[in-house]
Structure 1
Amino acid sequence: MDIVTESAPFTTPCIQCRAPTTSTVTEALVGEDHRWDIDGDCSSCGATWADCGYQQPLTGFREAILTANGPTVLELGVTSSSLATVMRALRLTRSMSPAQAKAIAEELRETGLEGTRIEMEILARLLRDSGVPVNVRTGQRR
């Protein structure tokens, strides 16, 4: 099973004594399962916890991942597909209007799309399955 993860420190109140505690937030792609986890231990009272499997990130999770790891960029592959092909693939993989698909396809074609590593891996898999060659890289845009 293919597993891709990114983690980041995340300050949150202890589940027991409510003291500020630095925990770890993780965004994971386990096979086809996209999830968010948080775990921590409190230096004040010794409590430990792990909350796993959130389908949507809690407030601040995504921002913490991006701050700690920087953005990942999804770019069209060297054999670039037509704008119409990319738009069609986007609409098949995501619920969006033709105008939204066009805007995203143009951004993908011109500068690449930025997001967390997991977000870009999911979109890359879906686009590749639709015949659109893409590359995923960490770091800044070109």
Structure 2
Amino acid sequence: MRALLQRVQQAKVVVDDQITGEIGTGLLVFLGIAKEDNLDIGKKLLDKIFKYRIFDDEQGKMGWNVAQAQGGVLLVSQFTLMAQTQKGLRPDFGPAMPPNEAKALYEQLVEYAKSQYPQVETGIFAADMKVHLVNDGPVTFNLEVN
């Protein structure tokens, strides 16, 4: 499982001209699910995301997590994060979990995230999403667990 975190001043997901999720200051999290992933791996990754210290503290250093910064979390499924790109000129999505399985796991992860943190918004799995964001910094991290 792989997550791309972006510290944002604001972010939203739009599907068919409707906002499906929106936050102010916080984390935009793109989540890629691999074939071998499961709920335990996902919980481990989400726990790390919620504790990851990438917000400025009183000293202006990255010492606060999203809760300490009183931020929101926008969780967006993104199978393209699992692409193999080392060879050729076209991404290979073979490592990604098949859509039906990935959707079920993603929904479980959203439920878990909302049980762990009160300010979680989402996109819509497999929809044609338009993601709008103002990256703060820019600050972007790639997190993986297995």
TM-score (norm. length: structure 1): 0.27
TM-score (norm. length: structure 2): 0.27
Greater radius of gyration (CA): 1
